[in-house]
Amino acid sequence: MVSVFIQTLVTSVILFLIALKIFNIKSKRWGGVVLIVVFIGLILVHRELEITRQLLGVLIDSGAILLFGLWDDYKNLSWKLQMLFQICLVGVLIYFGFSVDYFNGLKGGDIRIDQLIWQGISIGSITFIFFWVVSIINAINWSDGVDSSMGSIALIGGLSLIFVSFLPEVNQPAIAILASIFLGSLVGFLVFNLPPARVEAGTSGSYFVGFILASLAIIAGSKIITVMIVLVLPLIDFVWVITERWKNKQSIFKKDKRHLHYKLRKIGWSDVKIFLSYIIFLGSVLVIYFMLDNRMERVVLLMGEVLFLLISFKTVSNLVNKKISNNKRK
């Protein structure tokens, strides 16, 4: 896995340098293009990887994300068109064999969601995959607001997928290879995205990162909770922002500065501090998670993380409101 990671990292860095130096690309929002090209290219040339039906679906969707992301960055497409595209992404995954039939229960046994069948299709599975993939894509997309904020979350998310691949109940070398390729391309991107960023992910990059984290979690035996340990931060930010917009009678799809990374900026945090804080917090929680053997303890850890983040979000929001209030008085 180390050799795969290094090979991907070197390839990624070289392509970024070519784009920066030789082609002299002025716009920053093309980082996702290199991310996706490296990911697809290294998968296609890797001798030990079998292009299964599910993996083919991932590759097709990745290529579609590249094209759609470029279109959105150029035309700033409406949220309706973006949602339609995300639905199509899910449709491709389901067509190519993605399914989630059950979850592991806290006290052993399985919690099945495949009981309702229509025309040979599990309604529960389709519904879950839709909400899981769409939520993760949008949560990651919305977390891409300041330099490396999205990359820090994706970095720990990629590590979680590698750790998952070595779990006895998973034991999927293919997942480890895919996660290593994803991580190598991502680190190559981060080299140029660290503050002050020379390259940004753009729509293609943020969509791609969210899509890969969501889809590989399903392929790895539905290890949703494991990946959720990392993704709970952008997911809470996603829900928090929607709630604030709804309370203020604004469109939940209208872009604004309500996200956590923007609020941290407003109270004086630098982009570097935000990046390091995300890395340290998510990395620490992930390490603790894999140190726990009991499934119940892992769920308790997840709940504790959610509670801590909710308190943190509320505290930061109050500080921002206080600062705005003080500025108005002046």
**Residue-range definition of the domain harbouring residue 10:** 2-329
Residue type, 275: F
Mean pLDDT taken over the chain: 89
pLDDT at 282: 94
On the question of pLDDT at 249 being above 90, the answer is: no
Closest by CA to 219, choosing from 100, 319, 121, is 100
CA R_g for the chain: 20
d(CA 205, CA 282): 21
On the question of pLDDT at 263 being above 70, the answer is: yes
pLDDT at 203: 95
Q: What is the mean pLDDT of residues 49-54?
A: 92
The domain tally of the chain equals 1
On the question of pLDDT at 330 being above 70, the answer is: no
pLDDT at 292: 87
Confidence of residue 106 (pLDDT cuts 50, 70, 90): low
Q: What is the mean pLDDT of residues 23-44?
A: 88
d(CA 21, CA 15): 10
Q: Residues 162-186: pLDDT tens digits?
A: 888 877 766 778 888 999 999 999 9
pLDDT at 26: 67
pLDDT at 213: 94
On the question of pLDDT at 109 being above 70, the answer is: no
pLDDT at 298: 86
pLDDT at 326: 77
Please count the other Cβ atoms lying within 10 Å of the Cβ belonging to residue 285.
Answer: 21
On the question of pLDDT at 112 being above 90, the answer is: no
